[in-house]
Amino acid sequence: MCFCRNWHSQTMFGKDISLMGAPWGEIERDLLFVGWGEETINRAFRNVRLEASRKQARTIRSFWSVKKAKKVVARAAAASRMRMNDILRFAMRIFKVRPGRTILTILGIGVSFGTIFFLVSLGYGLEHLLLRQISSDESLLTLDVFTNNQDAIPLNSDSLSSIKNVEHIEKAYPVVNPSGQVEIGDLVAEADFYGVSESYFGASGERFVGGESFSDGDKTVVLSSVFARIFNVSNTGELIGKDVYIVLYLSHKNIIEGTEDIQMVSIEEPLRVVGVVDDPAGNRIYVPFSLIANLDIPYATVKVVVDDSSNFGTARAAIINMGFNTRAIVDTIEQADKIFKVFQVILALFGITSLVVAMIGMINTMTIALLERIQEIGIMKILGVSNGDIRRLFLFEASLMGFLGGTSGLIIGFFVSRVFNIGINFLAKTLGGNSVELFYYPVWFVVVIIAFASIVGFATGLAPSHKAATMDSLDALRYK
């Protein structure tokens, strides 16, 4: 009786045992023999059909384990549908019947996914480019501290040491920003001077086009690349090794009288140029802070490096509490991120539009394919192909087209982006710029494109496959 109960629960899992073509009476006797009640037999076989031969009847008689019963039922169920490789082979006929139409449809999807792939990898590429340009790791942890009112909240060596005492601050160093003159040979030019420590270059994300940074205590300077033009040298590299003389203008406010004196301080020794940073517009000259520390110039900013990005907000808040203002590259990146979000939405709209067009093309192709094959569907059905297999066949064809569309889209998008990149770099080189990589191809996006294209194909196949599967076989057979 225990066996009956087991069988019982097992009829729930599944499909069926029909005993068509089997000597039913004999099987029934067998089942009664092993202890099935009449009602149990009826219930077990009510929904389910499995083609059982004499041999299978003997197997059923020896069903002492549910596991074995499951196996037999599974095998019988599997025997009643087309093999996967046959479905694949049948689906491949889309390339035989109307290869032109199939390929055009696939290319339609390919172009649409290619556009999406192109735009998205461009978006990613630009974002990468920007982040690499404006930010080193340290620069993301760096905070510029400045004051709006040097008189009320002065930024000087006292405030520097109190900033240094704020928790989570790894280092802090001043930047002074007097204006002045620079002299190379007999040429003189106005310039903005920055008295900085050597750490400044790592934190600011400044890009060197020649030479390198100075060390604290050296008697050297770093110029911005604009001086190549100002001093008439053809190449920024030629500036390096030259000696310059500098004069600084220092202002002293007299609060009581409300007047301001300008004092000109010239540094008598020649300073050697050791590096050039990329800036074709601003006349900037960096000098080691140590060189001008004794001039007691109020600090323009204090660069603060926080120990860890997770403490960035806390440290920043603490400094703002002291009355100072702050600025960080992170802010710029957040700004840029917002711009990229907008850019991505625009990309998505472009992509969705072209996708909709491609999907309409594909639905059209599937519908025409269905109409052309109504008679074939009727023939297949009347020869014993199940509705489920017809549905699978159409769905498979549609998914296959989607998959191939996605794959060709990747290929198209990739090649177009390569050509585009080469073109842009060629242009950049002739205009004297640097070559850049505008595109970035995230692996996950490649996978997503192929998967999504297949899903889109599958989705466009749903309606036609349903129509094919539920079509009346006789009507289909007689369809002209």
Which residues contact another protein by CB under 8 A? Answer: 16, 18, 20-21, 49, 51, 78-83, 86, 90, 93, 96-97, 375-376, 379-387, 389, 472-474, 477
If the CB atoms of residues 79 and 256 are measured against another protein, the closer one turns out to be 79
For another protein, which is the closer residue by CB, 21 or 37? 21
Whichever of 77 and 438 has its CB closer to another protein, that residue is 77
Q: Which is nearer to another protein, 93 or 171 (CB)?
A: 93
CB-nearer residue toward another protein: 383 or 443: 383
For residue 18, give the nearest of 49, 53, 62 by alpha carbon: 49
| Residues, the chain | 480
**DSSP SS3 for 133:** helix
Using alpha carbons, list the distances in angstroms from residue 401 to 91, 169, 215, 363, 397: 10, 58, 63, 11, 6
Tokens of 314: 């806390």
Considering the complex, what minimum distance in angstroms separates the CB of residue 476 from another protein?
Answer: 10
Structure tokens at 284: 């900037």
Q: Measured from the CB of residue 20, what is the shortest distance to another protein in angstroms?
A: 5
| C-beta atoms surrounding 428 within 10 Å | 14
Nearer to another protein, 18 or 177 (CB): 18
Instruction: Write phi, then psi, for 281 (nearest 5 degrees).
Output: -120, -45
Q: Rounded to whole angstroms, how far apart are CA atoms 246 and 267?
A: 6
Nearer to another protein, 78 or 356 (CB): 78
- Tally of CA atoms within 13 A in the half-sphere of 318 that contains its CB: 16
Whole-number Å distance between alpha carbons of 302 and 449:
47
CA atoms within 13 A on the CB side of 120: 23
Q: Report how far residue 112's alpha carbon sits from residue 474's, in angstroms, rounded to the nearest whole number.
A: 40
| Unique residue bearing structure tokens 């089942």 | 31
What are the helix (H) ranges across 154-246? 157-164, 199-204, 226-230
- Which residues have C-beta within 8 Å of that of residue 214, sequence separation ≥ 6? 198, 220, 221, 222, 274, 275, 286, 288
Nearer to another protein, 96 or 443 (CB): 96
Outline where DSSP puts E strands in 229-379: 243-254, 259-266, 271-277, 284-288, 301-306, 325-328
Minimum CB distance to another protein smaller for 96 or for 234 = 96
C-beta of 41 vs 459, nearer to another protein: 41
Q: How far is the CB of 37 from another protein (least distance, A)?
A: 24
CB of 98 to another protein, least distance (A): 10
| Distance of closest approach, residue 94 Cβ to another protein, in angstroms | 9
What is the spatial distance between Cα 105 and Cα 99, in angstroms, rounded to a whole number? 10
Q: Pick the closer one to another protein by CB: 92 or 447.
A: 92
Distance (Å, whole) CA 254 – CA 152:
14
Assess contact for 302 and 172: CB atoms under 8 A. yes
